[in-house]
Structure 1
Amino acid sequence: MISERPDWVRLHKALAIEAEKGFVDLMGRQYRFSEFLSLTFGKFPIGLPSSERIQWQNKATQFANYPNLAQGDRQHLVAQTRRYLQQLQQTVEKQNQRLQTKTHKAGENGDSYSSPSNPGVSIPKTKSTIPSEISRHLAPKLDQKLKDLAEIGFRRSKKLESLGLYTVRDLLYYYPRDHIDYARQVNIIELQVGETVTLVATVKRCNCFTSPRNKNLSILELQLKDKTGILKINRFFAGRRFSSRAWQESVKRRYPVGSTLAACGLVKEGKYGLTLEDPELEVLGSPGDPIESLTIGRVVPIYTLTEGVVASTVRQAVIAALPATALLKDSLPSGLRKKYQLLELKDAIANIHFPSDSMTLQAARRRLVFDEFFYLQLGLLQRQQQAKKVQTGVQFSPRGKLIEKFYEILPFQLTGAQHRVVNDILNDLQKSAPMNRLVQGDVGSGKTVVATIAIIAAIQSGYQAALMAPTEVLAEQHYRKLVGWFNLLHLPVELLTGSTKTAKRREIHAQLETGELPLLVGTHALIQDPVNFQRLGLIAIDEQHRFGVKQRALLQQKGEQPHVLTMTATPIPRTLALTLHGDLDVSQIDELPPGRQKIQTTALAGNQRSHAYDLIRREIVQGRQVYIVLPLVEESEKLDLRSAVEEHQKLQEAIFPEFKVGLLHGRMTSADKDAAITQFRDRETQILVSTTVVEVGVDVPNATVMLIENAERFGLSQLHQLRGRVGRGAAKSYCLLMSSSRSADAQQRLKVLEQSQDGFFISEMDMRFRGPGEVLGTRQSGLPDFTLASLVEDEEVLILARQAAEKVIEIDVTLERWYLMREELKYRYNRLMGGAILT
């Protein structure tokens, strides 16, 4: 680990001040003297002779233990170090003079150096590492307990354990949650609100006084001036002890008028113009002097803490652990690192904690993010390849009279996209390895027809099939559609849900075991009931992201390695698809059937409600129907949202008394839900007031208006799903997004719906607004628990990691030739996925 060139002045000054103050381990603005020295000696400076590296590194260990030394030992160490630095400085400066002379002569002879082109992220040229012979003698071991390190000890280690930190390795991989960049030094005139900066200016005025409004608050007031302007800054001190005139006068003496001051902080708008919020301050000897503070002018790491653990405890522990980076073995081959412009692991770990500048921090983060993505993709691809080696004997014929007859009874032609996806599926079904394919398609793209062809292929080959949906409404919708087709094919199909009567359940169970029943549609009841198939060959799962990983696996276990077809009408962003379904073959139905109308979408404010009601009346008078969707079933004390029950009563009695208004929500019994949907489908009710139960599964082509109340409370993908309930017939359809929010963010989100009907684009935007966890809705979705990586910000790195993983698997799927990579995969993949099987 190499740092910048030695700052001799700074080191000498730090040692001199410590000696003047009586070897008390002086506390600076951010670090103690011992921490500063330990951190400085923890990195080899450019130009340090190799013969000096052991002694240089030894200083890091000695100063890490400085707080534990007696006064005399401290004095001896400081004096010894000052002599050592004086001699070393002379040696290094002589060496630099010789190098400069040699370089000058080489230039005269025409020698030159051209750096290779670097199309990716540039890597700081600080990539040398601590030699192994040093690390063996000086660096703590990676598996060493923190309590056994002298600079941490038992008491501090107990505090660190509350953060899950037990060993040196734990500390190295305890990445900062954020960094504050004070490295950019600016003039006063260049200050911008919201930026974190450092400036160097002259003290024009200094005052320290007790607040007239609060006797417990003292204020340091400074007026700073540079060649571009004047800035007023304040620091506040809470406590009675700061109100003494003696203390306040001592503070004023610390910042005398005319002295040079370095200050850093967040720029904000104050009462008298721009200022720095809670600034860090350091007086310099002159404008050109180096800044001593390890906060001012630097990139500062911010760690996640817990009660009883302060920042300095974690920081000091990390400093003590940093020499152990020399022992880290890089599991990525050098060729791969070079191809993807990646730092070595030991340099990335060191610089994620204490980067020299923001560029080095970015390079360190990029390497560590790459690792998180790479090992996830490696695990998914390895599992995919292993699954394809499984021989099941469950092979279907893609051709047959049953499929031909189905094509004949369909009242429409398949789209090009549907044909393409059907061919993908039928090709999979001919293979002896079990199919594991995900079909993504926007609302109304025709996924059910595609799945039905796969089901018929299974049945004509002598196998049974199961179709599982997340809700009774959606399961019943599938069942109703399949019954219409299967009756014409003279095939039986049954529905099994939580509402199925006991006698019917027994009948279904018996027919499955004898093989009389070729297709069963159902909800979770398919895995909760004692359902035994005679010969299950195909499983189709709709809206698969709503099922937990264990639930999907339980259904698969009801057959001998059956083919699996999963479907979703919630388009998944590319990064999410790679992360969640990197082991699946993915097909997209990216074309809507002909005749589907574009839905006119409008965001409305609360004072425009009358326009919405006028449109509803016009549409109903023309024989159309309307959905009105609300987010809650009953009034909440915390959220001022309309209750579906109360809204239904209000709409029926006060707003639309001339029309019949129906009600549908999740707490109704299954029979009541069926009745409400049937009445709406049969046009007995013109308006259906509903919660998001109608999000999927309710198919009423005559409905042309979707009014969504409190639209800002929904995610974009969910709004898009709800919008998909209309526009299913030939008439023009409308989606009205009612919102009382004046938030600019809420307005911007709803604008996306107004401008686009593309579900994949909308899902990308939804993830950017809300994050992947919110988009998926539940932790059971199997989203990996990344430490640094962001699916929103790091898409480019994810794509590169996928490419790298594909190349590695192509060369050696077992990873036998890369032992370190194989071992790292075992550790990382299981930790990322919690050992879960996603599909």
Structure 2
Amino acid sequence: MSRINPEKFDWERIEKALQVESEYGYKNIQGKLYRFSEFLCLTFGDTPPVTNLLVAFRWQETAKKFARYSHLTILEREDLINQTLNLIGEVKEMIVNKPYYHPVAEEVKSLAVAEVKPPSNTSVAPVTLKLDDPVTLLKAISLRQGELLKKLQIVTIRDLLFYYPRDHIDYGRQVNIKDLVAGETVTIVGKIKKCDCFSSPKNKKLTIFSLIIIDRTGEVKISRFFAGNFYSNRGWQEKMKRQFPRNAIVAASGLVKQNKYGITLENPEFEVLNSQGGNINSLKIGRLLPVYPLTDGIPADVIRNGVMEAMVALPQISDPLPVILKQQYGLMELQEAIARIHYPEDQDQLSHARRRLIFDEFFYLQLGFLQRRQEQKESRIAVSFTPNGRLIEEFNQILPFSLTNAQKRVIEEIIKDLQSPSPMNRLVQGDVGAGKTIVAVFAILTALQSGYQGALMAPTEVLAEQHYRKIVGWFNLLHLPVELLTGSTKTAKRRQIHGQLESGELPLLIGTHALIQDPVQFRNLGLVVIDEQHRFGVQQRAKLLSKGRSPHVLSMTATPIPRTLALTLHGDLDVSQIDELPPGRQPIQTTVLTGKQRPQAYELIKREVAQGRQAYVIFPLIEESEKLDVKAAIAEYEKFSEKIFPNFNVGLLHGRMSSADKDKALNAFRDNETQIIVSTTVIEVGVDVPNATVMLIENAERFGLSQLHQLRGRVGRGSHKSFCLLVTSSKTPDSIQRLNVLEQSQDGFFISEMDLRLRGPGEVLGSRQSGLPDFALASLVEDQEVLVLAREAAEKILLQDKYMQGENSLKDELQRRYQKLIGNEILT
């Protein structure tokens, strides 16, 4: 588009066209060369003759509206022509009042009160702004404010344009004064009946500015308060009163509040209009107002004004997303999306802008994941295992049960990976009791019969020992040695295990972090199985892998997470789901109880224990006060053993006990020497006591749904009916709603999805170590559909050009986006 020279612009011709069209009844008349709508569309399709960004946006929007002129009703056409005449009048006035143009955005000529402030900036905007220029070159941002903005990671003009609002206040809804309703954000337009600006009698540093506004339906008094000596100056106060003269037409926006003096607007924004129905040019009044995350010393208006000024650099932002993808997924152009996310004209524009920018956040994340997986497969050459052999055949014969269809499907996916020369990197998700361990054993046996060793690493001794107990029984029948290595393993036994590993005599080692210690050396490690892999750090997992030459990796988790979280956390992994429970597993009767109903829970435990069964009693653990929680658990243990269940043996288990004491407590419970065990959440995974039929969880509202589901999974493992009792003292609707999900469902995948929706991803995963990317706009709860589409689009890109050789701009943007989202780690 060409820049219009305002001095040569044919204002008379365009105004005459508008006048003639009005006189002919808005029939879209035919001229010598063009129809009326075509002429107007072409005229406004050029770059506007002013650099005021708000006016420029309206100018370009007018071109779009005339492109749809033939589809408008007569009334809509009339309204469009009136709006266009008003716009032309404003532009002509700007040209008359300011004949020389600075090629950066002009300050908005708004009389908004919040804009009237002491000068705080002596920096001068450059003739040309570049995306990599510092933000302190903007008029709106001082050098001191530039230093403060670094806390928000805003250093350059590009950073500022990509610093999206976290929300928008909708001042676009205009209402009559009589229709003001507390709690709504609105705009009113009326005459000024009275204006006052004065220092508070009680506090001379507090200035009160108030307007009484009337319209045909009523009147309202609205006030703003200004703190500081500058505003106490009588000259400033008189200037404010002159800007808002009696009978002037004013627009005011704000949140409607009801106080003891009546209805009013809280923290209102004002603008004096040229006439009733005149255009509102403010950045704030009568529109969607952007709300940004802030830091101390940076008022909202600094960012709002800075963004508006920085918009002149917007054309320098290229859009690397292929046109065919934008068309296929209905995505707005990037430049327009950035402009509209900051200053949308309506909710529809905001929605389309958000969708494009959220798509980009997800798209580059998924593109990076897929590229990383591809590079890993091509850079590491793994051994190819034999899928069929003696060990697999013998194991199938000794299995006392049939595999579920889900287990068979996942085993086939794993075997296919193990036959590939590229190393497997697969995550197996399965609900409590879905049979993940048996799937891992098939993978391990495939490695062993191909002449390689296997390693299984678990995050806790309890879980490692549980795996060892289960697998050693099967391996004894196959005449295969297997050992357990943990922090509790005696020195002599350690040396024996180290020697057998190095000689190749020991085919499988199960253990904890002890597996990654330097003395542990495998002769021929071919498969690594990592259970509850999210409990290990990246470096810990990498150290175990380094003990073999490109071993295959099978990760497992008993905490199902929704697909959107899996894509975001494990987008570079192949994910399998065991979404079917073995036959015969009885549903666990789950009940939410109040504190007053606790005696009912105790009666159920007494009844079950009297019939030879066992029970868990779980107390929550808050990491910040672990000592207090341990004391609480000990105190409850004493109360249970001495007062509530004096006729039964009660055991105690908590995280501050030594490994030997933990083993002693667990073994006593497994052997039914203790019928009731009082524990903190160390019992969550790895404990398999089929005789236990009651799980009582105190203060259940302090747990996440997925964690409660895991705890519930400790019962229902035998042939007897089992119970889970959730005791809560909370009466908040949110807490009750969450706990009711457990009453209604036994499906871990559904429960994790509900947990995500009710608590958000940070809480579900554990905020401190969640590993979630730092999205600016995207929500894994609200934007799941966009994430799936972005993954699909990324797959299409790499399918057509897996090295992106023809997409240099896309590769550059991928690098930049990743550094912003999750740092350099993912690209290493």
User: Where on the TM-score scale, by shorter chain, does this alignment land: which range?
Assistant: 0.7 to 0.9
Q: Between the two proteins, what is the percent identity of the paired residues?
A: 63
* Residue pairs, 1:370-519, within 5 angstroms: 370-389=359-378, 392=381, 394-519=383-508
Q: Give the Å deviation of 1:364.
A: 1.9
Partner of 1:50: 2
* Residue pairs, 1:735-814, within 5 angstroms: 735-777=724-766, 779-814=768-803
Partner of 2:283: 294
8 A contact 2:630–2:654 mirrored in 1: no
Query: In 2, distance between residues paired with 1:305 and 1:436?
Result: 41
1:279 counterpart SS class: strand
AA partner of residue 30 (structure 2): K
Partner of 1:316: 305
Corresponding position: 1:267 with 2:192: no
Corresponding position: 1:347 with 2:269: no
Corresponding position: 1:93 with 2:19: no
Moved more, 684-693 or 638-647: 638-647
* Residue pairs, 1:351-362, within 5 angstroms: 351-362=340-351
2:29 to 104, 114, 117: 104
8 A contact 1:216–1:240 mirrored in 2: yes
Q: Give the Å deviation of 1:286.
A: 4.6
AA partner of residue 321 (structure 1): A
Q: Give the Å deviation of 1:453.
A: 1.0
TM-score when normalising by structure 2? 0.82
Query: In 2, distance between residues paired with 1:548 and 1:577?
Result: 17
Partner of 1:833: 822
Corresponding position: 1:670 with 2:663: no
2:497 counterpart SS class: helix
Moved more, 613-622 or 221-230: 221-230
1:104 counterpart SS class: coil
* Residue pairs, 1:59-458, within 5 angstroms: 89-90=11-12, 92-94=14-16, 103-105=28-30, 139-148=128-137, 154-188=143-177, 190-201=179-190, 226=215, 233-236=222-225, 260-271=249-260, 275-284=264-273, 286-389=275-378, 392=381, 394-458=383-447
AA partner of residue 755 (structure 2): D
Query: In 1, distance between residues paired with 2:499 and 2:430?
Result: 35
Q: Give the Å deviation of 1:386.
A: 3.2
Query: In 1, distance between residues paired with 2:547 and 2:507?
Result: 14
Q: Give the Å deviation of 1:187.
A: 3.4
- Unmatched segments (≥5 aa) in structure 2: 39-56, 65-102, 105-125
Partner of 2:577: 588
Query: In 2, distance between residues paired with 1:228 and 1:171?
Result: 43
Q: 1:466 to 1:761 in 2, by over 3 A?
A: same
8 A contact 1:497–1:524 mirrored in 2: yes
Query: In 1, distance between residues paired with 2:360 and 2:551?
Result: 34
Q: Give the Å deviation of 1:408.
A: 2.0
1:643 counterpart SS class: helix
Partner of 1:27: none
Query: In 2, distance between residues paired with 1:633 and 1:573?
Result: 26
AA partner of residue 29 (structure 2): H
Q: Give the Å deviation of 1:805.
A: 0.8
AA partner of residue 187 (structure 2): T
8 A contact 2:184–2:255 mirrored in 1: yes
Moved more, 422-431 or 561-570: 422-431
8 A contact 2:28–2:37 mirrored in 1: no
Q: Give the Å deviation of 1:94.
A: 4.7
Query: In 1, distance between residues paired with 2:390 and 2:363?
Result: 46
1:307 counterpart SS class: coil
Root mean square deviation, CA, Å: 3.7
8 A contact 2:694–2:723 mirrored in 1: yes
TM-score when normalising by structure 1? 0.81
1:730 to 714, 719, 737: 719
Partner of 1:572: 561
Q: 1:323 to 1:688 in 2, by over 3 A?
A: same
Partner of 1:559: 548
Q: Give the Å deviation of 1:636.
A: 4.8
AA partner of residue 712 (structure 1): E
AA partner of residue 447 (structure 2): A
Query: In 1, distance between residues paired with 2:566 and 2:181?
Result: 39
AA partner of residue 195 (structure 1): E
1:753 counterpart SS class: helix
8 A contact 1:633–1:645 mirrored in 2: no
The superposition leaves residues 507-559 of structure 1 with CA deviations (integer Å, 9 ceiling, x where unpaired) of 11111111011111111111134211111111111111111122212211211
Q: Give the Å deviation of 1:230.
A: 6.1
The superposition leaves residues 226-248 of structure 1 with CA deviations (integer Å, 9 ceiling, x where unpaired) of 55666565544557998999999
Q: Give the Å deviation of 1:128.
A: 10
AA partner of residue 616 (structure 2): Y
Q: 1:292 to 1:367 in 2, by over 3 A?
A: closer
AA partner of residue 407 (structure 1): N
1:50 counterpart SS class: coil
Partner of 2:47: none
Partner of 2:99: none
Q: Give the Å deviation of 1:417.
A: 0.9
Q: 1:637 to 1:433 in 2, by over 3 A?
A: closer
The superposition leaves residues 365-414 of structure 1 with CA deviations (integer Å, 9 ceiling, x where unpaired) of 22111111111111111222333445635122222221122122222111
Query: In 2, distance between residues paired with 1:838 and 1:239?
Result: 50
Query: In 2, distance between residues paired with 1:817 and 1:580?
Result: 28
Partner of 1:535: 524
The superposition leaves residues 145-188 of structure 1 with CA deviations (integer Å, 9 ceiling, x where unpaired) of 34455775655544444443332222222222332221122334
AA partner of residue 538 (structure 1): L
